[in-house]
């Protein structure tokens, strides 16, 4: 009887342990599914309907230097034709400022690229959805605007993946482009996240001024084919400047595209 009881206890312990092991493995796999729910078919590749941009009347007047492809970081190989230029907006979504920008972009039939902060995307899911539905490209700008090169790889990875998941939950598309805050990242992280970093070629430092004319002038005087303009849609002055920049550069024959149509990977 004692032996039977002992045997029963041992058996119960083994079964219990097996159950615990199974539970841990299962939870991990569910967790990793959730963390990596950016499945291949959901990536932000060619999701856009390009028919609208195809209908833009292109009258090239801006000049394209043949050597323009060499003046920037070698991450970018500028695909400089049709006077393409890209507007990119960081640090959003920013509530009413972003909504005003989206209204202005829609009126002008312009597609832009938004590098979103995860925690802001979580706060404004309707704006993120609207960006996606209106054909803008959405990229990752980390969850809390962290400087990726100053934290350990696990923290950096988590910042990126959490943001991808939030965006992917809202739009069903997983970002493939990342703009690292302050332009700072490590190659090790890049290899781990398998995303394309996108920096910029024109920075009017709009976060540092509310002077719309100064932002517009800096961009317009430096604008060339294949440029990537950095702005922030969380400031009213930046939004006003962005719309003026579009009007001025469209008048000069530039065509605004999302960054996937400018950079070659």
Binding mask 194-213 toward Zn ion (x if CB under 5 A, else -) reads --------------------
| Closest separation in Å from C-beta 207 to Zn ion | 8
Q: Contact at 8 Å (CB) between 134 and 102?
A: yes
CB-based closest residue to Zn ion: 90
| Closest separation in Å from C-beta 115 to Zn ion | 7
| Closest separation in Å from C-beta 144 to Zn ion | 11
Q: Which is nearer to Zn ion, 169 or 203 (CB)?
A: 203
Residue 149, phi-psi category: left (phi > 0), alpha (psi -120 to 50), beta (remainder): alpha
Tokens of 221: 């005087």
Q: Which is nearer to Zn ion, 91 or 233 (CB)?
A: 91
Active site residues: 90, 232
Tokens of 209: 């001024």
Choices 47-55, 85-93, 246-254, 255-263; region in contact with Zn ion by CB under 5 A: 85-93
| Closest separation in Å from C-beta 19 to Zn ion | 46
Does position 181 bind Zn ion by CB under 5 A? Answer: yes
Which of 44, 48, 53, 91 touches Zn ion by CB under 5 A?
A: 91
Q: Which residues pair with 86 in a beta bridge?
A: 228
Q: Which is nearer to Zn ion, 78 or 232 (CB)?
A: 232
Tokens of 173: 């598309």
Q: Which is nearer to Zn ion, 117 or 170 (CB)?
A: 117
| Closest separation in Å from C-beta 111 to Zn ion | 21
Binding residue count for Zn ion, defined by CB under 5 A: 3
Does position 159 bind Zn ion by CB under 5 A? Answer: no
**What angle (nearest 5°) sits at the alpha carbon of residue 47, between those of residues 121 and 163?**
25
Q: How far is CA 65 from CA 68, 79, 171, 176, 227, in A?
A: 5, 12, 37, 29, 12
Tokens of 137: 């490209």
Q: Which is nearer to Zn ion, 94 or 224 (CB)?
A: 94
Residues contacting 38, CB < 8 A, separation 6+: 164, 165, 168, 174, 175
In DSSP notation, 26-70 reads HHHHHHHHHHT---GGGBSSS-S-THHHHTS-----S---TTGGG
Choices 28-36, 58-66, 176-184, 194-202; region in contact with Zn ion by CB under 5 A: 176-184
Which of 90, 206, 233, 260 touches Zn ion by CB under 5 A?
A: 90
Residue with tokens 């800096």: 218
What does the binding site for Zn ion look like in residue numbers (CB under 5 A)? Answer: 90-91, 181
């Amino acid at each position: 009887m004692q032996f039977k009881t002992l045997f029963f206890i041992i058996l119960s312990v083994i079964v219990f342990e097996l159950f615990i092991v199974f539970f841990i493995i299962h939870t991990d796999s569910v967790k990793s599914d959730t963390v990596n729910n950016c499945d291949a078919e959901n990536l932000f590749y060619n999701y856009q309907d390009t028919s609208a941009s195809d209908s833009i009347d292109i009258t090239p007047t801006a000049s394209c230097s043949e050597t323009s492809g060499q003046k920037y970081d070698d991450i970018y190989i500028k695909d400089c034709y049709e006077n393409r230029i890209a507007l990119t907006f960081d640090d959003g979504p920013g509530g009413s400022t972003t909504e005003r920008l989206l209204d202005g972009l829609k009126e002008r039939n312009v597609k832009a690229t938004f590098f979103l902060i995860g925690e802001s995307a979580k706060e404004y899911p309707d704006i993120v959805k609207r960006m996606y539905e209106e054909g803008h490209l959405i990229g990752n700008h980390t969850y809390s605007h962290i400087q990726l090169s100053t934290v350990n790889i696990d923290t950096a990875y988590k910042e990126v993946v959490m943001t991808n998941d939030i965006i992917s939950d809202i739009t069903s598309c997983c970002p493939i482009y990342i703009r690292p805050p302050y332009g700072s990242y490590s190659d090790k992280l890049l290899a781990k996240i398998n995303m394309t970093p996108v920096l910029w070629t024109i920075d009017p430092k709009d976060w540092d001024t509310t002077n719309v004319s100064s932002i517009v002038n800096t961009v317009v005087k430096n604008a060339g084919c294949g440029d990537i303009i950095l702005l922030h849609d969380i400031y009213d002055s930046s939004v006003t400047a962005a719309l003026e920049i579009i009007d001025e550069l469209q008048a000069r024959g530039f065509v605004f595209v999302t960054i996937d149509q400018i950079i070659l990977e």
